[in-house]
Amino acid sequence: MHHPPEPLFTVENSPKSTSLLRGDAALNQLSELGIELEVLKQALMSGHNGAAQVTAVHPKTAAGTYRWYETVAALRDSLIQEGWKQTDHRNAPRIMHPELNVSIMVATGNEKTGTKDTPSNATAKGVMTQRDVWNNSDSEQQVIQEVVETIESQTPATWVLLYFYSQKFNHIRAELSLASAMDDRGFITKWEERLILPVMDLSGEDELLDIQSDDVPEDIIFEIGNEQAS
């Protein structure tokens, strides 16, 4: 008897609330993960410098693509020197700490990245990210066989370095966060833990071609120096 394919995810809200950390609390958690804040900041700046190489004659998506390429490359280059291992299973770039069983992926976020609101990825993600989120959440949600086949006994917890380049404020907001749920379109809907990184102020610098429209109210963006996550 033929059975229809199961949905990639049975969409449901996780009962767990999100832990949101910044300031010293975020730094302490980064240390637990074996990551220094400066490594993340340098990777984000390398991405910004990569996007800056794009001119008006490049394809319109080039700046955003170059930003992602160079952020991934710089992050992996720095962490490999500290004993992390590069993986590219199914062309999904990750950097993994083999002893801590932690992995990091890089993604462009939407305008809620680095704010008090719940962010998501700016573009839909594929089967490997879906696998990682399902694995992070230790979920009983149903997944299709293609996801099941990618799951290994030692699949690490995968954190997302999520960034947003704001046109409104000419700065980069970013966070390192652990996703726990996705919808059936490939967008993250829930986070177990969010580590908010300091805003990277780019005032005085020219706007690049991949700058993102930003309509969030200023009062949901964390102020520099404000250690509270309320």
Q: How far apart are CA 172 and CA 155, in angstroms?
A: 30
Phi, psi angles (nearest 5°) of residue 127: -65, -35
Question: Closest Cα to residue 192, out of 144, 216, 157?
Answer: 157
**Other CB atoms closer than 10 Å to residue 62's CB: what's the count?**
18
Residue 2 lies in a domain: no
Residue 7 lies in a domain: no
Give the pLDDT score at 223.
Answer: 55
Give the domain range for residue 47: 19-220
Residue 229 lies in a domain: no
Residue 1 lies in a domain: no
Residue 230 has pLDDT above 50, yes or no: no
pTM: 0.84
Q: What is the pLDDT of residues 157-197, one digit of tens each?
A: 999 999 999 999 999 999 999 998 888 898 999 999 999 99
Mean pLDDT of the chain: 84
* pLDDT, mean of residues 17-34: 93
Q: How far apart are CA 164 and CA 112, in angstroms?
A: 8
**Percentage of residues in the chain having pLDDT higher than 90:** 61
Residue 142 lies in a domain: yes
Residue 109 lies in a domain: yes
**Which one-letter amino acid corresponds to residue 112?**
K
Residue 9 lies in a domain: no
Residue 92 lies in a domain: yes
Q: What is the pLDDT of residues 70-114, one digit of tens each?
A: 999 999 999 999 999 999 988 889 999 989 999 999 999 999 999
Residue 149 has pLDDT above 70, yes or no: no
Residue 226 has pLDDT above 50, yes or no: no
Give the pLDDT score at 8.
Answer: 34
The count of domains in the chain is 1
Q: How far apart are CA 162 and CA 122, in angstroms?
A: 9
Q: What is the pLDDT of residues 38-61, one digit of tens each?
A: 999 999 999 999 999 999 999 999
Q: What is the pLDDT of residues 189-222, one digit of tens each?
A: 999 999 999 999 998 888 999 989 998 887 777 6
